[in-house]
Chains A and B, each alone.
Chain A
Amino acid sequence: MNQIIRLFSSLVLFVFSAGAFAQQPLQVDISSGHLDPTPIAIPAFIDDGARESRGADIAGVIAADLESSGLFTSVDERAFIENIQDFNLRPRFQDWRVINANALLIGQVTRQSDGRLLVGFRLWDTRLQEQLTGLQFVTAPENWRRVAHRVADAVYERLTGESGYFDTRIVYVSESIGPRGEPMRRLAFMDQDGANPSFLTDRSYWSLLPNYSPSAQQITYVSFLDGQATTYVYDLESGRQEALFASGGAGLARIDPDGQSLSARFSPDGEQLAVSIELQAGHDIHLFDLRSRNLRRLTTHPADDVEPSFSPDGDRIVFSSSRGGGSQLYVMDADGGDVQRMSFGGGRYTAPVWSPRGDLIAFVKQENGQFSLGVVASDGSGEERILYQGFYVDTPAWSPNGRVILFTRGDRGREGTEYEIWSVDLAGFNLRRMPINGQSSDPAWSPLIE
Chain B
Amino acid sequence: MNFKLLIIAGMTATLAACASTPPPTTTQGPTSEPPRTTRTETPRTEPAGPIPGTEAHFVATAGDRVFYDLDRSTLTSAGRETLRRQADWLNAYSRTRILIAGNADERGTREYNLALGARRANAARDYLVSLGVSPSRIRTVSYGKERPTCRESSERCWSLNRNATTMIEGGVTG
Contact = CB atoms under 8 A, between A and B. Distances in A.
Interface residues of B, number: 39
Contacts of B108: 348, 350, 366
B140 A226 contact: no
A115 interface: no
B141 A228 contact: yes
A276 B115 contact: yes
A225 B110 contact: no
A114 interface: no
Given A206-B146, A366-B108, 9 more contacts: A204-B14, A208-B146, A225-B15, A262-B115, A278-B118, A306-B112, A369-B107, A393-B109, A415-B151
28 contacts: A183-B146, A183-B147, A204-B14, A204-B15, A204-B18, A209-B111, A222-B114, A227-B12, A227-B15, A229-B142, A246-B19, A248-B21, A259-B140, A260-B141, A262-B115, A307-B112, A326-B71, A350-B111, A350-B112, A351-B112, A364-B109, A392-B106, A392-B107, A393-B109, A395-B109, A395-B110, A413-B153, A416-B157
Contacts of A65: none
Interface of B: 3-4, 7, 11-12, 14-16, 18-21, 24, 71, 106-112, 114-116, 118-119, 122, 126, 140-142, 144, 146-148, 151-153, 157
Contact of A209 (B110, B122, B142, B148): B110
Contacts of B109: 350-351, 364, 366, 393-395
Contacts of B3: 180-181
Interface in A224-282: 224-229, 246-248, 250, 259-260, 262-263, 276, 278, 281-282
Contacts of B118: 259-260, 278, 283
A102 interface: no
B18 A281 contact: no
A441 to B, nearest CB: 7
Contacts of A8: none
B15 A304 contact: no
A281 B152 contact: no
A182 interface: yes
A205 B15 contact: yes
A441 B119 contact: no
Contacts of A316: none
B10 to A, nearest CB: 9
Given A281-B126, A416-B153, A260 B11 contact: no
A27 interface: no
Interface of A: 180-183, 185, 204-206, 208-209, 222, 224-229, 246-248, 250, 259-260, 262-263, 276, 278, 281-283, 304, 306-307, 320, 326-327, 348, 350-351, 364, 366, 369, 391-395, 408, 410, 412-417, 441-442
Given A180-B3, A204-B14, A259-B140, A250 B21 contact: yes
Nearest to B115: A304
Contacts of B119: 281-282, 304
A276 B116 CA distance: 13
Nearest to B153: A412
Given A205-B15, A227-B16, A412-B153, A417 B110 contact: no
B142 A260 contact: yes
A262 B114 contact: yes
A224 B15 contact: yes
A442 B110 CA distance: 9
A441 B14 contact: no
Contact of A229 (B14, B114, B122): B114
Contacts of A246: 19-21
A417 B7 contact: no
A164 to B, nearest CB: 30
Given A225-B15, A260-B142, A182 B111 contact: no
B29 to A, nearest CB: 13
Nearest to B119: A304
Contact of A306 (B20, B71, B115, B153): B115
Given A204-B14, A204-B18, A205-B11, A181 B114 contact: no
Nearest to A418: B153
Given A205-B11, A326-B71, A225 B18 contact: yes
Contact of B106 (A225, A259, A278, A416): A416
B19 A225 contact: yes
Among all A-B residue pairs, the 10 with the closest Cβ atoms = A415-B151, A304-B115, A350-B109, A394-B109, A228-B141, A412-B153, A350-B112, A416-B151, A182-B7, A281-B122
A307 B146 contact: no
Given A260-B114, A415-B152, A416-B106, A182 B21 contact: no
B153 A417 contact: yes
A228 B106 CA distance: 19
A182 to B, nearest CB: 5
Contacts of B141: 227-228, 260
Nearest to B152: A416
B111 A226 contact: no
Nearest to B19: A226
A226 B18 CA distance: 9
